[in-house]
Amino acid sequence: MTVKANLERINERINKACIKGNRNPKDITLIAVTKYATLEKTKEVLDAGIFHLGENRDQEFLRKYSVIGQKATWHFIGTLQRRKVKNIIDYVDYIHSLDRLSLAEEIQKRAKRTIPVFVQVNVSGEETKHGLKVEDVLPFIQNLQSFDKIQVMGLMTMAPNTRDDQIIRDCFRRLKALQQQVQALQLPFAPCTELSMGMSNDFEIAIEEGATMIRIGTALIGEKE
């Protein structure tokens, strides 16, 4: 399947989920997760009209960035090691994986402009998943006050890998509730207007539960080649 054909199917599914969840499709940004995609495939994504790209490895991101540059909006979606921050910080538009203070300190130290970030939350509590525990999120964000290079645009999570839709839905719902708690704090450095949640297997549920950014890899690109 071509990227274009896949995109048509995905857009239909997005529209259906928007109707079901009473959402406006304009409020949903599709991030094409190109981490396993070749440069050729990634260009197909751009040709199909998707300009938000998600990468999770610094070298692969830089390789693609060196060709595509600012034609795309770049989302860093993976676990970010502290020592990699300096490699990517000048080129990323969003970081979706802020999950510890040491990483915030490194971003603060290296950034030459304000970086929009998502705080990654491990809602499901699975040990294999990165992210802050739900109960640690509010104090963590309040601690970011002195970091003038960091703007908390929203929260990000990955749902548990399960076929049980209700478990997935509960996870997204809890992230939304947490977002409302952050917004209630009215912190100027944490508007927290966005929710980055939903992947190939669960983006419809995420949309119904309030996602504003969905991160889609395999459904758009196909399996890893």
Ligand X SMILES: *Cc1c(COP(=O)(O)O)cnc(C)c1O
Which positions lie near ligand X, rule CB under 6 A? Answer: 33, 35, 56, 77-78, 158, 199-201, 215-219
Of the two residues 87 and 200, which places its CB atom closer to ligand X in the complex? 200
Block residue for tokens 């209630």: 184
Of the two residues 142 and 209, which places its CB atom closer to ligand X in the complex? 209
Shortest distance, CB of residue 199 to ligand X, whole angstroms?
4
Residue nearest to ligand X (CB): 217
Instruction: Compute how many other C-beta atoms are within 10 angstroms of the C-beta atom of residue 144.
Output: 22
Of the two residues 95 and 152, which places its CB atom closer to ligand X in the complex? 95
Of the two residues 33 and 182, which places its CB atom closer to ligand X in the complex? 33
Instruction: Compute how many other C-beta atoms are within 10 angstroms of the C-beta atom of residue 158.
Output: 23
Shortest distance, CB of residue 185 to ligand X, whole angstroms?
26
User: 3-state SS of 141-154?
Assistant: HHHHHHCCCEEEEE
Concatenating the DSSP letter of every residue in 65-102 gives: HHHHGGGSEEEE-S---GGGHHHHTTT-SEEEEE-SHH
Shortest distance, CB of residue 216 to ligand X, whole angstroms?
5
